[in-house]
Structure 1
Amino acid sequence: MNKNEYIPFLSEIKEIKKHTDIEYTFTFDYDGPVRPGQFFEVSLPKYGEAPISVSGIGEGTIDFTIRKIGKVTGEVFEQYIGDRLFLRGPYGNGFDVSDFRGGELVIVAGGTGLSPVRGVIEHFYENPSETSGLTVISGFKSPQDVLFKEDLARWPEQMKLIVTVDKAEGSCAYPEGLVTSYIPDLAVRDANTAKAIVVGPPIMMKFSVKALLDRGLKEENIWISQERKMCCGIGKCGHCKIGDSYVCLDGPVFNYTKGKELID
């Protein structure tokens, strides 16, 4: 008998990692198919549920990097290792790493947009022979907002990594500037075949994609995520509907040839 994907199931918190005062990564036990960029509904009785992207995939575990911004996520932050929450999913189509094997890949992420692409980065970090070149450009508002610092410290072993902040403070370890300022000088050998993933705030994605196109990348070789539009996960509430598309069903990951039409 197949599991009903609309029914929540209990999952235990295995680990909690603090990044900032309002952003933690919660590791849950989970044994099932899942792709980077997909999302689950995380819920607590009496408080509701919230759609959260998968930020890491382990052996029998999944990570959710959660920002404390509302009633549900605020209550999640009151939970501890060993506590159990309800999950349902995974939903959406996510990123298929096979789309990016064998060639050059550029990943541009803004703020928490690094979370849904972290699984892709980890895959190619562990399997560097599957790509002929990986560049990751990740931008944050300030040094205090930087996520996954341990990952950022080791990723340069297998890729070119650029981390930037909108506003540097004091003896900041990161350069000041926007992610788009690094795109014109990208060291890609063949812009016609290079592929890219762009995830972040809408205005950041707009100008990052434009810069990639100006650099010579093709529209069909760029993927974006509309994850901020996710809501119920099953196409019933209509919150994520843009034109004829439901982001929770047809996305949140879209090839740019389709994603460029999703103007909200």
Structure 2
Amino acid sequence: MNLVPKIANIKNTERDGRLGSISFDFDGDLKAGQVFKIGTFGKGETTAWVIDAEDKTVTVSFLDNNPVTHKIMLLPTDECITVRGPFGNGFSLLDERNILLISQDDGILSQKKLINDLLQNGNQVSLLHFTSFPKDIFMSSSLKKAVSDDSPINGEIIDMTKKGPQDLDTFIKSCIKASYTSGINAVALSGNENFQQSVSRVLEKTMIKDKSIQILFNRNFVSGMGWSNKDLYGTTNIWKEGPVFTLDQVRRFPGVFI
């Protein structure tokens, strides 16, 4: 990974609702779910997830929700941006035949290339996406397309606003049906701390408790010395390769930065 910013020229810019994406030249190997720090001079940096990489051109995606992304989306083709990365050690469950992805809200963004890679690899993919914003037109449209009858993904979108007074564990347990866990070889989980803890407690009481369960650390990237967000996942940094795991409830599960 590269800590020193490099200059890259924008080859293409696209917008889909609140989601922006840009393409630029990158000569190197990329793995599913890795991220770059992209920025503009004087505005700072933002995190962008790799969603495609082909012929030395990488396409990254990000939520257009801050001054940095607003500026980037206004830049014309061939304009310069700063690029650092890629960060993350990729995804190591490609050898597992049947994979269940469990994600929460914008945790799904880091999994777009991962899902494509899994499908191209011949893996069977199931997706349970828990959304707190069922009326978000952009997210709802994208997710419904991903789990439609025409999609190769077996999945379901779960409306968390219908949880009501029941505790999170009870609600999640009612949503993870046996049909989703039957025959599963591995689980990839992304979301905030409470969500991860709750899903992990539920999974520990199912038939897949001893399968490979990886926590996808996709929301704790900050500028500076690498990864740091004590509210979500504890602390690590780019000098220490591999997963760092601090949540007691899920300590025994292998984690992976993607």
Length-normalised TM-score, structure 2:
0.74
2:176 to 168, 177, 183: 183
* Equivalent in the alignment of 1:48: 44
Measure, in 2, the Cα distance between the counterparts of 1:148 and 1:26: 21
Whether 2:198 is the aligned partner of 1:210: answer no
Which region of structure 1 is more displaced relative to structure 2, 142-151 or 199-208? 142-151
* Equivalent in the alignment of 1:39: 35
Whether 2:149 is the aligned partner of 1:158: answer no
Identity in percent: 18
- Aligned pairs for 1:217-236 within 5 A: 217-218=208-209, 221-232=212-223, 234-235=225-226
Measure, in 2, the Cα distance between the counterparts of 1:145 and 1:252: 32
Equivalent pairs, count: 239
* Equivalent in the alignment of 1:142: 134
Deviations 1:106-136 (A, max 9, x none): 01122221121222210122232xx3x3211
Question: Conserved in 2, the CA contact under 8 Å of 1:40 and 1:52?
Answer: yes
Unaligned runs of 5+ in 1: 169-177
Question: Conserved in 2, the CA contact under 8 Å of 1:14 and 1:82?
Answer: yes
Measure, in 1, the Cα distance between the counterparts of 2:241 and 2:229: 10
Question: Conserved in 2, the CA contact under 8 Å of 1:155 and 1:161?
Answer: no
Shift of 1:52: 2.8
2:99 to 96, 101, 105: 105
Shift of 1:179: 6.7
Measure, in 1, the Cα distance between the counterparts of 2:181 and 2:96: 14
Question: Conserved in 2, the CA contact under 8 Å of 1:229 and 1:247?
Answer: no
* Equivalent in the alignment of 1:172: none
* Equivalent in the alignment of 1:25: 21
Measure, in 2, the Cα distance between the counterparts of 1:56 and 1:254: 28
Shift of 1:162: 1.8
Instruction: Note the aligned Cα RMSD (angstroms).
Output: 3.5
* Equivalent in the alignment of 2:10: 13
Unaligned runs of 5+ in 2: 163-170
Deviations 1:71-108 (A, max 9, x none): 32232232244433111111122313xx2324221011
Shift of 1:181: 4.2
Measure, in 2, the Cα distance between the counterparts of 1:58 and 1:253: 30
Shift of 1:24: 1.8
Question: Conserved in 1, the CA contact under 8 Å of 2:235 and 2:244?
Answer: no
Change (3 A) 1:259 1:10: farther
Question: Conserved in 2, the CA contact under 8 Å of 1:114 and 1:138?
Answer: yes
Task: Give the SS at the match of 1:25.
Answer: strand
* Equivalent in the alignment of 2:168: none
Task: Give the SS at the match of 1:122.
Answer: helix
Which region of structure 1 is more displaced relative to structure 2, 226-235 or 147-156? 147-156
1:86 to 67, 82, 88: 82
Shift of 1:200: 2.1
Change (3 A) 1:209 1:156: farther
Question: Conserved in 2, the CA contact under 8 Å of 1:110 and 1:204?
Answer: yes
Length-normalised TM-score, structure 1:
0.73
Shift of 1:210: 2.6
Question: Conserved in 1, the CA contact under 8 Å of 2:8 and 2:25?
Answer: yes
Shift of 1:258: 5.7
Measure, in 2, the Cα distance between the counterparts of 1:162 and 1:205: 18
Instruction: Name the aligned partner's letter for residue 146 of structure 1.
Output: M
Instruction: Name the aligned partner's letter for residue 95 of structure 1.
Output: F
Question: Conserved in 2, the CA contact under 8 Å of 1:109 and 1:139?
Answer: yes
